[in-house]
Amino acid sequence: MTTIGLIRHGITEWNCLGKAQGISDIPLNELGREQALSVGQRLLQEGNWDLIVSSDLRRAVETASIIGSLLNIPLTYDKRIREIDCGQIEGTTEEERIMKWGTNWRKLNLGMEKFEDVSNRGVEFVEELASTYNGKQVLIVSHGALIGLTLQKLLPQVFQKTYIDNTSVTILNNCNGEWNCSLYNCTKHIS
């Protein structure tokens, strides 16, 4: 069995302000660093992790680096697990989007990456990891939309909707090509 632990990055100032981050390279804030330390301490007690793969965006890299230093395991980066590209809405709040484009802004073409494209690259990535690291325990540090859309595509009967908290832990298991989710969006380390 291959185990994949999906971790959303720690909180940022833009998260606190309600701004769409997308592929903007925003760092963690102090609370985000504390959250990363907490999830790292938790993961030290839960499982024998072999590797961390992180998005190459700074908020994920910082989170993964903190976790990796505690677990003392290799860390690599992959841009395929970046957050959804939010196009023109990056850096804006919901209120600002409504003021600029109206209440139907979601129906406009504002350069946002399609959800299906995000879910496809997420599923391809976890399936590649499960094949390459068969029998191992691998952590992925990524982003809320990427993780949520991947779960919805991988296990549609389980995840019609998702919400992913900062530094939450979601555990996927792959046994003989079959996926299941044994833990979803768990934040007991910061609750």
Residue 191 lies in a domain: no
What percentage of the chain exceeds 90 in pLDDT?
98
Fill in the DSSP letter of residue 41: H
Checking if the pLDDT of 191 tops 80, the result is: no
Q: Which domain holds residue 88?
A: 2-186
pLDDT value, residue 181: 97
If one counts the domains in the chain, the total is 1
Checking if the pLDDT of 54 tops 80, the result is: yes
| CATH number reported for the structural domain that contains residue 124 in this entry | 3.40.50.1240
Among the listed residues 49, 80, 65, 52, the one whose alpha carbon sits nearest the alpha carbon of residue 10: 65
Got the DSSP string for 105-152?
Answer: GGGS--SPPPHHHHHHHHHHHHHHHHHHTTT-EEEEEE-HHHHHHHHH
- Residue 30, classed as helix, strand or coil, is helix
pTM of the model: 0.95
Phi, psi of 11 (to 5 degrees): -70, 150
Residue 155 lies in a domain: yes
Give the C-alpha separation, 54 to 147, whole Å: 12
Active site residues: 9, 83
Residue 14 lies in a domain: yes
- Per-residue pLDDT tens over the stretch 105-144: 999 999 999 999 999 999 999 999 999 999 999 999 999 9
